[in-house]
Chain A
Amino acid sequence: MASHYEAPIRKPLVLGDKGYHDVSVDIAAPVEGRANKQWWIVFSIALAALLWGVGAIIYTISTGIGTWGLNKTVNWAWDITNFVWWVGIGHAGTLISAVLLLFRQKWRMAINRSAEAMTIFSVIQAGLFPIIHMGRPWLAYWVVPIPNQFGSLWVNFNSPLLWDVFAISTYLSVSLVFWWTGLLPDFGMIRDRAVKPFQKKIYGLVSFGWTGRAKDWQRFEEVSLVLAGLATPLVLSVHTIVSFDFATSVIPGWHTTIFPPYFVAGAIFSGFAMVQTLLIIMRKVSHLEDYITVQHIELMNIVIMITGSIVGCAYITELFIAWYSGVEYEQYAFLNRATGPYWWAYLLMMSCNVVSPQIMWFKKIRTSIVISFIISIVVNVGMWFERFVIIVTSLHRDYLPSSWTMFSPTFVDIGIFIGTIGFFFVLFLLYSRTFPVIAQAEVKSILKSSGSRFKALRDAGKPLYTISKNGIVRETIIGNEEEAAVSAEPDKESLLSTLGSFDSGTQEPDDLKKVKGIGPLMEKTLNKLGIFSFLQVSKMTQKEYDMLDALTGAFPGRAQRDDWAGQAKMFLNNDK
């Protein structure tokens, strides 16, 4: 590490006195622990919203689209607004994991897992809308070009709605594969730490037998890079295709060439805002403040600011071109947005999307967690209205004044939207309790270069390996074990006093090697101390572990970590 050079300007990405083991423990803690009351409350609320949404969807499909507020003129409104909104949110995940990987941004490592999860879950929400807004959703499979008995009746490949099918399904599957590949080492970690057989079985299944050999890692890295290279054009094209739904039409206000990049920028903008919202809560709830630091929040705020400015530029461009075009319909479309019956939606969109990210120029604001949180929500509200404004204001007044109309949603429109929010949070809450929410393998790879403890040591010119406090990394020569045990002879009486002594005349010694963490050598050491039976081991508590550590001097903290007492209890019970 002495040869390592990192610019001193770089702030640490992992705070606190963290070693590799601490990373594992911190990240595994929410998975291994039990959900608290707050989690159950929030989960119940999300589940209730989901069920309400399911009811609204069933009502829509069984009764008809007429239950929505759509009319003959405005035939897309909340459905496609929500679709584009969710797809947009989904884009940040892939951006963080793929684009930032290509740009070698180390700060992505603490947030990419959750961002990808967010992608998957929000694309699932988005994927609902193209189905449920169909008049006959049970014939949705007709959009897929499969050979059939209608003389192989085919789909028309000229419609952006069909491209949407391919874009969204490809996007979901690639994101899923990318996400899961990254999860393999982390699931492996959870699997190896799991004590209960059920958990061990489950994480053993989902980790696909990951063993972390050099060859595995080498290929893992290659796959990640290739997938990142594939995912980046995918991100750009998916939202481009979504924007084509509008841009390829002839509707004034829709027919624009600026839509593809502008929608993508908006997607990144809203996606990062959503990541921000979620992670600000998650770092607090899951005690991950050392990994998701204020620096991460600040960097995300900068991305939000940049993309927000791009979106702002796009708004101005649209307005300019409308004026410059000399097309009355185009000009009226924008006049209608600003001063028509939906002026409030336009104003909300403008203020949320153009003004709010601009305050991120102030460092005080962009490093403030509370303000970041508020802004992140404001941005998502604004981006929802952006899609609403584009869709509804362009449709409700277009070429023929005789078909001008208004749109107002019904409770079913709103119910389905609330349902998708509920579904999203149900998935995300379940994820946060069962998945390693931070890519521990990746964080460990930057721990020595960007961890605050190692940075401090490097700055002080000290070698990184001397830190042996707390006994996390300590070189042990196995041969010393016996010696240590012998020298500790005087103390063993006090240890045995709580554990109970073993009479080799009447009792039979147990095979202590059964306990995970006790090898043949350790068994010998324990026997020397007078510990022979599971009964004795099962009585061990924190105090005894410490004493044992002091006596043996080998693998400190090991006994506690492996929960020898718990394991011994299990064997005791099994014997009976």
Chain B
Amino acid sequence: MKGFIKIVMILAIIGLVSACADSNSPNYQYMPNMYEPVGYETYQQVDFLPGGTEAMTPPENTIHRGWLPYEFANDLEGKEMARMQPSPLDTLLMEANLAKGKELYTIYCGICHGNLGKGQGTLVKREKILGVPSYADAARNITVGSTYHTIYYGLNSMGSYAGQLDYEERWQVSEYVMQLKQDLTK
């Protein structure tokens, strides 16, 4: 009986102590010596910078190494000029580029445009959004250059994907879109 009471007491103490852990807030730490960063983390909140965040916009009109600005403007005129631009990717690596493009397409585009580019993505089927055209739509005379422009700036309801995809990836997706279009119109 005595032993039983002891066991119950120990369990009660364990229960009490573990009750102190709150799943809605970070748990207690033992001696967090190097747990909080001394340096500044990318998206860390800071008091001394405008906007209160560590992530600040770079100064305008600066070019960092390994990057060039897109030469076409974000308007219909720019889009028309972009239409003529060919893909700068190496045609000998077409296979690999298309594979990569497919991968990226299914992640970023397929949800609306459909994995086959018919405009029947999951969101469209569930009627969350409407009015996504098929790549085969004759009225939409898309080329690899105009696709790139659209990915870069977005068009109407579609937003820009320049933040998600880098220069090479955008061209890979564009090439893959042309491939889909080709498959649809076949």
Residues of A within 8 A of B (CB): 136, 138-139
Q: Is B31 an interface residue (CB 8 A)?
A: yes
- Complex Cα gap A139–B30 (Å): 10
Per-residue CB contact flags for chain B residues 19-51 toward chain A (1 = under 8 Å, else 0) read 000000000001101000000000000000000
- Bound Cα distance A480, B8 (Å): 62
Nearest Cβ distance between residue B177 and chain A, in whole angstroms?
Answer: 45
Shortest Cβ distance from residue A139 to the other chain B in the assembled complex, whole angstroms: 7
A136's nearest neighbour on chain B, judged by CB, is B33
The residue in chain A whose Cβ has the minimal distance to the Cβ of B31 is A138
In whole Å, how far is B36's beta carbon from the nearest beta carbon of chain A? 16
CB-nearest residue of chain B relative to A138? B31
Q: How far is the CA of A138 from the CA of B30 in the complex (A)?
A: 9
Residues of B within 8 A of A138 (CB): 30-31
Shortest distance between the CB of A215 and any CB in chain B (Å): 29
Instruction: Name 5 A/B residue pairs within 8 A (Cβ), A-sorted.
Output: A136-B31, A136-B33, A138-B30, A138-B31, A139-B31
Residue of A nearest to B33 (CB): A136
A139 to B32, CA, bound (A): 11
Complex Cα gap A136–B32 (Å): 12
User: Which chain A residues lie closer than 8 Å to B30 at the CB level?
Assistant: 138
Closest to B30 in A: A138
Closest to A139 in B: B31
Q: Which residues of A contact B33 (CB under 8 A)?
A: 136
Nearest first, the 5 closest Cβ-Cβ pairs linking A and B are A138-B31, A136-B33, A139-B31, A136-B31, A138-B30
Distance (Å) between the CB of B32 and the closest chain A CB?
Answer: 11
What residues of chain B lie closer than 8 Å to A139, measured between beta carbons? 31
* A136–B33 CA distance with the chains assembled, in angstroms: 9
Residues in chain A near residue B31, CB distance under 8 A = 136, 138-139
Contacts of A136 in B (CB 8 A): 31, 33
Expressed in whole angstroms, the Cα–Cα distance for A136 and B30 within the complex equals 12
A555 to B30, CA, bound (A): 67
Q: Which of B47-88 contact A (CB under 8 A)?
A: none
User: How distant is the Cα of A139 from the Cα of B31 in the complex, in angstroms?
Assistant: 9
User: When chains A and B are docked, how far (Å) is the Cα of A138 from the Cα of B33?
Assistant: 11
- CA A305 – CA B33 in complex, angstroms? 51
| A259–B62 alpha-carbon span in the complex (Å) | 68
Q: A139 to B33, alpha carbons, bound, how many Å?
A: 11
Give the docked Cα–Cα distance between A138 and B31 (Å): 8
Smallest CB–CB gap between B34 and chain A, Å? Answer: 11
Q: How far is the CB of B172 from chain A (nearest CB, A)?
A: 38
Q: How far is the CA of A57 from the CA of B31 in the complex (A)?
A: 19
A547→B30 CA distance, assembly (Å): 73
Distance A138 CA – B32 CA, assembled complex (angstroms): 11
Chain A: minimal CB distance from B170 (Å): 41
Nearest CB of B to A272, in Å: 42
A552 to chain B, nearest CB (A): 49
Within 8 A of A (CB), among B101-156: none
CA distance A156 to B33 in the complex (A): 23
For the complex, give the distance between the alpha carbons of A429 and B33 in Å: 40
How far, in Å, is A539 (CB) from chain B's closest CB? 48
Q: How far apart sit A208 and B33, CA to CA, in the bound complex (Å)?
A: 45
Complex CA–CA separation, A138 to B29 (angstroms): 13
Task: Tell me, in angstroms, the Cα distance from A267 to B33 when the chains sit together.
Answer: 39
